[in-house]
Amino acid sequence: MSLFPGKKKPRPLWTLFPAAVFFLSTVLVLGATGWAQSLQSAEIASSPNPVGSGARALGMGGAFIGVADDATAASWNPGGLTQLECPEISAVGTAVLRSEDNLFPDHSEASEKQTVSRGGLNYLSAACPLVVADTNVVASLNYQHLYDFTREWNTRLHSEGLKQAWKVDQGGGLYALGIALGVQVSPRLAVGCTLNLWEDLLYRNGWEQVIRTRNRVRDILGDLHRVNHYVRNRYDFSGWNVNVGALWNLTEHLSLGLVFKSPFTAELAHRTTSVIRYLPYPAYRQVNFLDEELDMPMSYGVGLGYRFSDKLTAALDVSRTQWEDFVYRSARGREFSPVSGLPLGKSRIEATTQVRAGFERLFIRPGFVVPLRAGGFYDPAPAEGGHDPYYGFSLGSGIGVGRTVWDIAYQVRLGTDVGSSIVRPQRFSQDVCEHTLFTSLIVHF
């Protein structure tokens, strides 16, 4: 046997075709699925604007900053907590049905209506009034679900040399444990603060997006092949911020509420998994663990509440969220807009202004009280180069017997020709119709 073997014979050119087919087909598939994968990592399916909780408040259209007279005040305006006269506990649940009528002008076969439903906890609280040094003080502990990421899409795409079916499963949410304190500064003025801890408690604090694509690709030889691609992004979210509020009784009937929700930088533990398989070859799998950050924007608002009598209250809120400060920072330090996915210097995201109005009418009878509530709102979402106009209305009622109050509210949120920033660079828009049912139980002690 020779210690120095000769040169290997060159492989016939035809043996390189499978590798070339695999490479070119994979490039084609990844290019075609790029628009599916460009669904933004922080795409919030519910309203992205930070609002409070409670069936009563949301039955009034979410106009509650200038009223804030129950335990949900910690999420609307913690200055209003001082209006509580006795200890109370409350729980709020929600059920959501959302439909998204998607339009892809360049791919009519992908234009379909997608529907998703979910239910769960919206709010938990316990509040206790105290007297400290002759000052009215109210402390409360609150757990709130603020953002929902639930979305399910099933659709297909046809283009030259490619037939593709893709499925998007997105879920999770962001929750905050609030530790709140309200203090009566004077007979007409109260202030308060809520410390929000965004951590894993009753639920995992974060979201996950899974995109599955099944492809039939015509290769460079004209033959059809199957290529499957799986991408999973999981984000675990943690951080803290504060809500600072004040409630000022301008007159016997008119109250003014102010609230400021501070910006903060959240830590994102990001795990990404990618699997691609070109049948019949073995799958290629890649897993990465990344430490990233998400800058959450500040929000502030003003509200007016007017009590015509003990039976009738009207309210108006105006609030603003600085979405231009909403920034995704990658593990390499690069900054992007989570709304559009564009680098921060090329993105044009603007602040949004929300307007909410509503009323509450009480029908007082011996032994029980029945409320009637209604309201409307304009709730735009951030979008590249402007905003997406969302609006809606709500109705609510319930019954109060003794120390127990049960409330229920229905809300519909509508958006027409919105969502252009969700899938880029493809031309895309959607009509959204979201139905939400809120129910709450409050027990006074």
281-304 pLDDT per residue, tens:
788 899 999 999 999 999 999 999
Per-residue pLDDT, 342: 87
Peptide bond into 280 cis (omega under 30): yes
Contacts of 332 (CB under 8 A, 6+ apart): none
- Encode the chain (445 residues) as per-residue pLDDT tens digits: 222 233 334 444 444 344 444 444 444 444 444 444 444 445 677 778 888 889 999 999 999 999 998 889 999 999 999 999 899 999 999 999 999 998 888 878 778 888 989 999 999 999 999 888 888 999 999 999 999 988 888 888 776 666 778 888 889 999 999 999 999 999 999 999 999 999 998 899 999 999 898 887 766 666 677 888 899 999 999 999 999 999 999 999 999 999 999 999 999 999 999 998 887 778 889 999 999 999 999 999 999 999 999 999 999 999 999 999 999 999 999 999 988 888 888 889 999 999 999 999 999 999 999 999 999 999 999 998 889 999 999 999 999 998 999 999 999 999 999 988 777 667 888 899 999 999 999 999 9
| CATH number of the domain bearing residue 116 | 2.40.160.60
**Structural tokens at position 327:** 């920034």
Contacts of 300 (CB under 8 A, 6+ apart): 258, 259, 260, 261, 319, 320
Number of domains in the chain: 1
Q: Is residue 180 part of a domain?
A: yes
CA pair distance 62, 301, nearest whole angstrom: 12
- pTM here is 0.85
Q: Is residue 104 part of a domain?
A: yes
**Structural tokens at position 187:** 């007979």
Q: Is residue 318 part of a domain?
A: yes
Query: 124 vs 75, 119, 177, CA distance in Å?
Result: 11, 15, 9
**Structural tokens at position 323:** 């979405």
Position 37, amino acid: Q
Per-residue pLDDT, 267: 96
Nearest to 205 by CA among 287, 122, 146, 288: 146
CA pair distance 324, 156, nearest whole angstrom: 34
CA pair distance 215, 410, nearest whole angstrom: 42
Q: Is residue 6 part of a domain?
A: no
Phi-psi region of 385 (alpha: psi -120 to 50; beta: other; left: phi over 0): left
Per-residue pLDDT, 289: 94
Range of the domain at 262: 23-444
Identify the bridge partners of residue 194 per DSSP, sorted by sequence position: 180, 243
CA pair distance 331, 365, nearest whole angstrom: 61
Pairing of strands 264-278, 312-321: unpaired
Q: Is residue 157 part of a domain?
A: yes
Per-residue pLDDT, 385: 85
Q: Is residue 10 part of a domain?
A: no
Q: Is residue 9 part of a domain?
A: no
CA pair distance 210, 232, nearest whole angstrom: 4
Q: Is residue 268 part of a domain?
A: yes
Per-residue pLDDT, 42: 54
Per-residue pLDDT, 424: 67
CA pair distance 354, 300, nearest whole angstrom: 10
Enclosing H/E stretch for 22: helix 17-37
